[in-house]
Chains A and B, each alone.
Chain A
Amino acid sequence: MGLDRRVFMGGAAVAASSLAMPYGFAKGNGTPKVVVIGGGAGGATAARYLAKDSKGALDVTLIEPSRSYYTCFFSNLYLGGFKNLDDLVHSYGTLASGYGINVVHDWAIGVDRDKKYVTLAGGAQVPYDKLILSPGIDFVEGGVAGWDILAQNKMPHAYKAGSQTELLKAQVMAMPAGGVFAMVAPPNPFRCPPGPYERISMVAHLLKTHNPTAKILVADPKPKFSKMALFQEGWGTHYDGMIDWIGPDFGGDNVVVNPDEMTLSIDGEVTKVDVCNVIPAMKAGRIAEVAGVSDGRWAPVNAKDMSSKADKNIHVLGDAALQGDMPKSGFAANSQAKVCANAIRGELTGSKVFPAKFSNTCWSLIDDDDGVKVGASYKATDEKIAKVSGFISKIGEDAATRANNYKESEGWYAGITKDMFG
């Protein structure tokens, strides 16, 4: 109900402010076509900016299988009990009604780069002049011994938000008193570098209230992770003795899981666990491979406009792109989308193209009102997107600063989701 009204209102507002050029009516057959595959932080932002700024001069199609989009960012806060699932869900209604974007809920299963069209699972062919791929991540097969995608019900990854996130939370809530929550952390590079560690914090927060004698075991193939000192400080302060992080020095890189027995073996030592969150190694969403723009793992792009190094009419955004120094994050994808949209619009309509500038900030919540952040600015060089400067929260900061970080992250969430979905 509420959603319907919001969509209607949004549509009305845009229509009123753009009477001179009503979306969707001014397009003839000669209107250049941009097709966007993937409606997340990269794709939805790119589609919206292209439609908004071209004022009808571009025909924009967004292909996204899900009718409701659950943001992966902030999904840890749902696990911790700080957000409801409803807070994370967004509709594509405004992009269709308010911006004239042709939103198609289907899977893209093929790309013909010579004839320039996308094939949908439903059979349709969608022609393009420029194609944007923003498919997010898929998992590398065999990344964690004993685990495959069929085991995701017993050992959820919860690294694509939605039903998996809900499942993981239900499993945490059902843990026996004093039970063990285990995580198999992913190797680099992966979506959201601080994500697994914020998740550990949020699960610990939940357990502290519901199951205070429970333990958390993390097997990590990496000797070091983002905001490591900040997380470790916070774990000591808020969850002393609850979290056992095992890095590669102690076998964290030598892991076997058994979903039927619910066991985790670290360097041969087998532990019976109650919940096992397996976050496998990642690669670009499958369509990047299908389109032939992947190097087998990620899709290499040119920094100045996010165009694929394999095809100048295809651009790749966000987690799937191999671009240089930016972390794989929603903030980064959103930032890249605007650079890409500006460049594509310039090429197709002759509008002014501005130099590529990128930024990113990742906030993480450790406990009530204890938020930390890391951020940086980047620029395009011939070789890659290169980090220019940055900042990170300090150890031992005062409570007001940390509380303010969390508030700021809530403001960012409201801002970026509006920037994506209108």
Chain B
Amino acid sequence: MVSGLRLFLMTATGIWFGFLLLGQAAFAVELGDKEKGRKLFKLCKNCHQIGQGAKNRIGPHLNLLFGRKAASIDGFRYSKGIKRAAAGGLEWHADTLSAYLENPKNLVSGTRMNFAGMKDLDQRMDLIAYLRLFSDNPADIPEADPTISDAGHDLDPAILALKGDPDYGDYLSGECTACHQTSGQDDGVPSIVAWPEDDFVRAMHAYKKQVRQHPVMQMIAGRLSDDEIASLAAFFANIKE
């Protein structure tokens, strides 16, 4: 039932973007199975604690995570990358967590979270359902995050399959290299060179969907077509650092 809905959402990605831009959740899917999520949390346990008495360890504790600004726990030493994302307005909700768990570096350049990523959407939703148990209950705090999420949709595989034209990407890249250095040097703006094409495309679509926060990048990505993003990915992936 639930996965049926998700399938529908995946095939309807074009329409879906339209709704997202309006800021409306047109469809909702339930977060996943908390019990499965509890087991998946084993992958996180080496660095993160959750539940009563949870403390910061290698990673910050995950209580009251939903609705929290990124990098906002007092006393935890965050990476430069996540602090930059926080300054851009990154907050933790089901959608941003899903993007982060899929591949941390796609959402936050320079994050210290050393996690290969969880490619399976159902698994991410299961894990997110488990994490959601440790944040505010909407029955008590009506403004607390939803317990059903519209985050359960992947990027349309057709978008990932697009073959970009590196020459077109080279032409378009003028807009990028005003800030991002082609040498890969990070003087306050992260490097975007030699990035796997898939990741580049996912990151740009995350901006486009406004899941990934940064006003400038949301503006830039917002007016790039799927083909243009693929071309930029093809170009930047093959620049020599």
Report which A residues bind B (CB closer than 8 A). Answer: 188-189, 193, 224-227, 324-328, 360, 362, 374-376, 379, 381, 384, 386-390, 392
Contact B142 A193 (CB under 8 A): yes
Partner of A390, one of B30, B137, B143: B143
Partner of B142, one of A224, A327, A381: A327
Contact B139 A386 (CB under 8 A): no
Contact A225 B142 (CB under 8 A): no
Question: A193–B141 Cα gap in the complex (Å)?
Answer: 7
Q: A327-B142, A388-B25 are in contact. Are A224 and B148 (CB under 8 A)?
A: no
Give 19 pairs: A residue, B residue, CB < 8 Å, sorted on A. Answer: A189-B140, A193-B140, A193-B141, A224-B136, A227-B143, A325-B137, A325-B138, A327-B140, A360-B142, A362-B142, A381-B30, A386-B30, A387-B138, A388-B28, A388-B146, A388-B148, A390-B138, A390-B142, A392-B143
A231 to chain B, nearest CB (A): 12
Question: A227–B142 Cα gap in the complex (Å)?
Answer: 9
Q: A388-B28, A389-B25 are in contact. Are A325 and B143 (CB under 8 A)?
A: no
Question: A389–B146 Cα gap in the complex (Å)?
Answer: 6
Q: Does B147 contact A (CB under 8 A)?
A: yes
Known: A376-B138, A386-B146. 13 other contacts (CB 8 A): A188-B140, A189-B137, A193-B142, A324-B139, A325-B146, A360-B142, A374-B142, A375-B142, A379-B148, A381-B30, A387-B145, A389-B146, A390-B143
Contact B146 A390 (CB under 8 A): yes
* Contact partners of B30 in chain A: CB under 8 A: 381, 386
* Contact partners of B147 in chain A: CB under 8 A: 324-325, 384, 386-387
* Total contacts A-B at CB 8 Å: 71
Contact B148 A386 (CB under 8 A): yes
* Contact partners of B140 in chain A: CB under 8 A: 188-189, 193, 226, 327
* Contact partners of A224 in chain B: CB under 8 A: 136, 141
* Contact partners of B141 in chain A: CB under 8 A: 193, 224-226
Question: A189–B150 Cα gap in the complex (Å)?
Answer: 27
Chain B 122-163 residues near chain A, CB threshold 8 A: 136-148, 150
* Contact partners of A374 in chain B: CB under 8 A: 142-143
A249 to chain B, nearest CB (A): 14
* Contact partners of B25 in chain A: CB under 8 A: 388-389
Chain B 12-37 residues near chain A, CB threshold 8 A: 24-25, 28, 30
* Contact partners of B28 in chain A: CB under 8 A: 379, 388-389
Q: Is the interface of B mostly helix, strand, loop or mixed?
A: loop
* Contact partners of B139 in chain A: CB under 8 A: 188-189, 324-328
Partner of A226, one of B143, B145, B146: B143
Question: A43–B29 Cα gap in the complex (Å)?
Answer: 31
Question: A150–B150 Cα gap in the complex (Å)?
Answer: 49
Q: List the 10 closest pairs (A to B, CB-CB), nearest first.
A: A325-B138, A188-B140, A392-B143, A387-B146, A387-B138, A386-B148, A327-B142, A388-B28, A389-B25, A374-B143
* Contact partners of A379 in chain B: CB under 8 A: 28, 148
Question: A326–B146 Cα gap in the complex (Å)?
Answer: 11
A405 to chain B, nearest CB (A): 15
Question: A326–B141 Cα gap in the complex (Å)?
Answer: 9
B136 to chain A, nearest CB (A): 7
A327 to chain B, nearest CB (A): 5
B125 to chain A, nearest CB (A): 14
Question: A362–B136 Cα gap in the complex (Å)?
Answer: 18
B212 to chain A, nearest CB (A): 20
What residue of chain B has the Cβ atom nearest to residue A190's Cβ? Answer: B140
B153 to chain A, nearest CB (A): 15
* Contact partners of B136 in chain A: CB under 8 A: 224
What residue of chain B has the Cβ atom nearest to residue A225's Cβ? Answer: B141
Contact B137 A188 (CB under 8 A): yes
What residue of chain B has the Cβ atom nearest to residue A376's Cβ? Answer: B142
B76 to chain A, nearest CB (A): 19
* Contact partners of B144 in chain A: CB under 8 A: 387
Question: A392–B144 Cα gap in the complex (Å)?
Answer: 10
B119 to chain A, nearest CB (A): 26
A234 to chain B, nearest CB (A): 16
* Contact partners of B138 in chain A: CB under 8 A: 325-327, 376, 387, 390
B64 to chain A, nearest CB (A): 9
Question: A225–B143 Cα gap in the complex (Å)?
Answer: 10
Question: A188–B24 Cα gap in the complex (Å)?
Answer: 30
What residue of chain B has the Cβ atom nearest to residue A391's Cβ? Answer: B143
* Contact partners of A387 in chain B: CB under 8 A: 138, 144-148
